[in-house]
Amino acid sequence: MPNTARWAATLTLTATAVCGPVVGSAHAAPAAGPSGLYAPSALVLTTGHGATAATVTPERAVTLNCAPTASGTHPAAVQACAELRGAGGDPGALTLRDGVFCTRQYDPVVVTVEGVWQGKRVSYERTFANECVKNSYGTTVFTF
């Protein structure tokens, strides 16, 4: 047996011993994105006083990572991730909580959410009448 054939046979036997025999066609594992085995869910949330995000300087910003576990600088990351999961990752689907009463004072607060949710791009902006109204939508996502 020539050296090349011997080398190929040795590699095949070593690969079989380490990885197991190859049966039939190759079975490729599902392609994992750059973030691993889960679709990324990472958001940046900002808030500031004013009418639109284009005219407001963000006064506060937090990060919220929801996959594989809840983390980030959001003060209630675990609860906020659970709330967003319940809304299908759509901040616009969060509704006004029952039993919350706010003044009618108009002091607009803008919230933005940018990032990805389960691999899909998220871009959200909403102007609330005041801080109380902002904090009344959902329970934790916008309270930072």
Buried b (16+ CB within 10 A) or exposed e, 66-96: bbeebebebebbebbbbbbeebebebeebee
Residues 35, 37: Cα–Cα separation, whole Å = 7
- The model's pLDDT over 26-56, given as tens digits with 9 standing for 90+, comes to 444 444 445 456 788 999 999 999 999 999 9
Q: Is residue 16 part of a domain?
A: no
Q: How many domains does one find in the chain? A: 1
pTM for the full predicted model: 0.71
Q: What is the mean pLDDT of the chain?
A: 81
Range of the domain at 135: 38-144
Q: Is residue 13 part of a domain?
A: no
